[in-house]
Structure 1
Amino acid sequence: MNSSCWRPTASVDALASRSEITWKLRKFFQERGFLEVHTPTLSHDTVVDRFINPIEVSGRALDLPELREKRLYLQTSPEFCMKRLLAAGMQAIYQICPAFRASEKGEMHNPEFTMVEWYRVGDDMQLGIELLAGLIEAVVDAPPIQHLTYQAAFEMHAGVDPLDCNVEDLISRADELKLGIDANWSDEKDEWLNLFFADLVQPKLIAPTIVSLYPVTQSALARISPVDPRVSERFELFMHGVELANGYNELVYAPELEKRNELVNAQRVQDGNVALPEESRLLDALRHGFPNSSGCALGLDRLVMVALGCSRVDQVIAFPLARA
């Protein structure tokens, strides 16, 4: 073993700054009446997402007879359990906790990372956006936050309307821009939109920017807009070209979540990934009755990284996986 592997990859100064930012986050929420909560890191349920793979734990590893044939999951986000607390009657909650995702390693990723997540009953998308903007202004030194719809950001930086185009239009635009992508790369519009966004739009979002109203096909657990059914009430925060946060006007209807879980699992299998459990205690909570609310998840490691002008998350994490 390398004799230097005991050392943290982050400097002492960076870790001190991380501590200060974490303190400011707690202060921000406490001043607004949020309660800090703690939910399980290991659960029977997991978020069903096309592009997020949870780390599975065999029930046998727990050496409990009733769990021997069960699959459990390290949580990719505290979302499910926090929403169950809302269904049980809590009003405004936040959590700062570890989260885990398989197959994530690189300058912007570590399989274990720190998530800041919050929910408030009665908020819609606009109030959720305002809360996120206020948090960033209170916690880090940054220029004023800009606001763009997904459609406007796409038209501005990619020169195409993402809501009024088809795959052929995107292939033609990629050819015009000389992106070097094979026309047969994919026949899915969303894959082309994601490629355009990652290569052309996101790198241009240097100033703090909240992008909202994502295509309905990228709604995840957000409601569909009652004004324009082509878009969902989802929003994300970017700084220096880095995605930092993802929020929703929360989906409250169990049948819609059931339908989305089934669709996403079909996509996962098509991509060569395993299907994830579609039934969950969150679905039970939605069937019981779920309040109108908005929530948001923010990556603490990335926020600290951007705030300190670093280029890799291991510069702000004491012990990433290689040294854990």
Structure 2
Amino acid sequence: MTANHWHPSATGAALRQRAALLAKIRHFFSQRQVLEVEVPVLSHRATSDPHIESIPAEYCGNTSYLTTSPEFGLKRLLAAGIGDCYYLGKAFRQGECGRRHNPEFTLLEWYRCGWDDRRLMLEVAELLGLVLGISQVQSLSYRALFLRELQLDPHSASDKELTACVGRTIALSFTPGDRAECLDLLMSHYLEPAMGEGITLLYDFPAHQAALAKVVADEQGTPVARRFEAYVGGVELANGYWELTDSAEQLQRFQADLQYRRSHSRPTPPFDERLLLALQAGMPECAGVALGVDRLMMLAGGYGSIEEVIAFPIARA
């Protein structure tokens, strides 16, 4: 540790910009009568998502977890009848460090009752356009992006075709394990950089990437996950769903997550039964989205590292 580590890593100007950004976000939702709410950041349950790890914390001799997202708390409020709402605050994820990652980060997450993913992604574009001063927006399906850039249909291509596509487009020192890994590699290493400037709204993901989104047949009869991601200049900022409301289907997905974790020798924390109870009670049809505020701040201020927009990142916490 060097002597200057007591100093914040962000400048005073950056912190004032950050405060203005948070105020702008709150004004955006106030104008639209979306209620700001708080939910716990310390929970008795960890995430079951196979690709995200919770940070454990001891509480009265029991293991609790810092929440990776306010999602389950917000959905319980929706089931209780709170209506359109949003959370703007801290979330925590294990092992997330880097130029665009910090284990403690600021997340904006909001839900719109009676909306689907298509309608919500337009509101996301409104917010991003307002904050970043961008008017250029392109909306296209996951399939359309693959066809445009790789002349490959990600839904119907065989495993062999996907592996061959990875081999000719990305320099790797290993062979991808399955089609899911192939698609992830093609997206992160090839397609995201090809998105160009402006806001890109990508929708109708492969069904196996549904997470907590509904799965519905598209116009070609292919089952797709009704979720979307929002990018600016190839940087992912937001991930949204037409939310799953079926408690039985939610239970099956929790169980599938835990089975994946077991098969890959990962921790298998108990899933959140309170969410299942909320869904059984009747969560309204809705769409929800989570947006990384620190990354948004980086783009808004032209910063190259997350440490430049956080007063005390993990190295100085």
The DSSP-based 3-state class of the residue aligned with 1:322 is helix
Preserved CA contact (<8 Å) 1:97 1:116: yes
**Mapping of residues 123-162 of structure 1, within 5 Å:** 123-162=115-154
The DSSP-based 3-state class of the residue aligned with 1:264 is helix
* Structure 1: 5+ residue stretches without partners: none
Deviates more, 1:84-93 or 1:156-165: 156-165
What is the match of residue 314 of structure 2?
321
What is the match of residue 200 of structure 1?
190
Q: For residue 103 of structure 2, what is the amino acid of its counterpart?
A: P
What is the match of residue 52 of structure 1?
52
The DSSP-based 3-state class of the residue aligned with 2:29 is helix
1:276 Cα deviation (Å)? Answer: 2.4
What is the match of residue 19 of structure 2?
19
What is the match of residue 244 of structure 1?
237
1:158 Cα deviation (Å)? Answer: 3.0
Deviation readout 1:178-198 (Å, 9 max, x if unpaired): 634544x31x21111001111
Preserved CA contact (<8 Å) 1:21 1:140: no
Preserved CA contact (<8 Å) 2:139 2:202: yes
* Structure 2: 5+ residue stretches without partners: none
What is the match of residue 37 of structure 1?
37
What is the match of residue 215 of structure 2?
224
Deviation readout 1:237-280 (Å, 9 max, x if unpaired): 11122111000000000111111111112222233321122242
Rounded to whole Å, the distance in 1 between the matches of 2:103 and 2:170 is 34
The DSSP-based 3-state class of the residue aligned with 1:27 is helix
**Mapping of residues 30-109 of structure 1, within 5 Å:** 30-58=30-58, 62-63=59-60, 68=61, 70-109=62-101
Instruction: Please point out which of 254, 264, 286 is paired with 2:257.
Output: 264
Instruction: Please point out which of 215, 224, 235 is paired with 2:228.
Output: 235
1:229 Cα deviation (Å)? Answer: 4.6
1:123 Cα deviation (Å)? Answer: 0.7
Instruction: Decide whether aligned partners of structure 1 residues 78 and 296 sit closer, same or farther in structure 2, where only a CA change above 3 A counts.
Output: same
TM-score (norm 1): 0.93
TM-score (norm 2): 0.95
Rounded to whole Å, the distance in 2 between the matches of 1:158 and 1:33 is 42
Preserved CA contact (<8 Å) 2:92 2:104: yes
What is the match of residue 282 of structure 1?
275
Preserved CA contact (<8 Å) 2:107 2:292: yes
Note the aligned Cα RMSD (angstroms): 1.5
Deviates more, 1:101-110 or 1:197-206: 197-206
Deviates more, 1:257-266 or 1:83-92: 257-266
Preserved CA contact (<8 Å) 2:166 2:185: no
Instruction: Please point out which of 241, 248, 251 is paired with 1:255.
Output: 248
2:175 maps to 1:175: no
Q: For residue 85 of structure 2, what is the amino acid of its counterpart?
A: I
What is the match of residue 189 of structure 1?
179
Rounded to whole Å, the distance in 1 between the matches of 2:307 and 2:131 is 21
1:21 Cα deviation (Å)? Answer: 1.2
Rounded to whole Å, the distance in 2 between the matches of 1:25 and 1:177 is 39
Preserved CA contact (<8 Å) 2:47 2:53: no
Deviates more, 1:136-145 or 1:240-249: 136-145
Rounded to whole Å, the distance in 2 between the matches of 1:40 and 1:283 is 18
Rounded to whole Å, the distance in 1 between the matches of 2:205 and 2:47 is 19
The DSSP-based 3-state class of the residue aligned with 1:225 is strand
Instruction: Decide whether aligned partners of structure 1 residues 168 and 23 sit closer, same or farther in structure 2, where only a CA change above 3 A counts.
Output: same
Preserved CA contact (<8 Å) 1:76 1:101: yes
Preserved CA contact (<8 Å) 1:174 1:181: no
1:226 Cα deviation (Å)? Answer: 4.3
Preserved CA contact (<8 Å) 2:166 2:182: no
Q: For residue 53 of structure 2, what is the amino acid of its counterpart?
A: N
Rounded to whole Å, the distance in 2 between the matches of 1:71 and 1:26 is 34
Deviation readout 1:12-31 (Å, 9 max, x if unpaired): 11111111111110000000
Preserved CA contact (<8 Å) 1:240 1:306: no
